[in-house]
Structure 1
């Protein structure tokens, strides 16, 4: 029988991976800033329409803009943390699901123990 199990994807920090992460954080931040500008534009457009509560529109849009500003702060924080990371350290990048074979006589703790795939510069170097 096969079951689904979560497997961590870990990345060894190199200069190349740091630069790639830095670029991803920057792109994410730029996209969020563009979304804030678009939301402000849409807010002004809706406020000029008759029959719509300006206060309600302002509150709703401000909430969305604030959500994005929080995400921008988080991206900045991650970027600062990235600068402090030492080369060669392992970071958890994401989690994926894998099929694991289970049969009679299998050791349950071995099957359910934490598994990880370790990557260095987009190349799998170890499976734990």
Structure 2
């Protein structure tokens, strides 16, 4: 019988992966800032047309702006933490689903523990059971 199991993927922090993560964080931060600018532009544009009630509209835009500002704060925190981490640290990258074969007589505790895949610079270096 086959079952689906969640497998944790961890990345070992190297100089190149650190640069890659930093670039990803900066790109996401820049994208969020662009979205904030676009929202402000759209708000001003809609306020000039006066087709909608300005109080409800402003509240809605403020909520969206606040969401993006919180995400920017989180990214800043992640960048600070990345600077503090020593090379060789393991970072949880993602969870993926794997198809696992189970048979009569298998230890359920061993199956349910799950597996971890370790990646270094894009190459699988270890599979922990």
Q: TM-score range by the shorter chain?
A: over 0.9
TM-score (norm 2): 0.96
**Which structure 2 residue ranges, 5 or more long, are not aligned?**
none
Provide runs of 4+ in structure 1 moved above 6 Å: none
Deviation at 1:102, TM superposition (A): 1.1
The answer for the alignment partner of 2:11 in structure 1 is 11
In the alignment, does 2:77 pair up with 1:73?
Answer: no
**Whole-Å separation in 2 of the counterparts to 1:68 and 1:89:** 29
The answer for the alignment partner of 2:41 in structure 1 is 41
Deviation at 1:49, TM superposition (A): 2.2
- Which sits farther off after the overlay, 23-32 or 103-112? 103-112
The CA RMSD measured in Å over matched residues stands at 0.8
**Whole-Å separation in 2 of the counterparts to 1:51 and 1:36:** 22
**Which structure 1 residue ranges, 5 or more long, are not aligned?**
none
**Whole-Å separation in 2 of the counterparts to 1:29 and 1:51:** 32
Question: What is the total number of aligned residue pairs between the two structures?
Answer: 128
TM-score (norm 1): 0.97
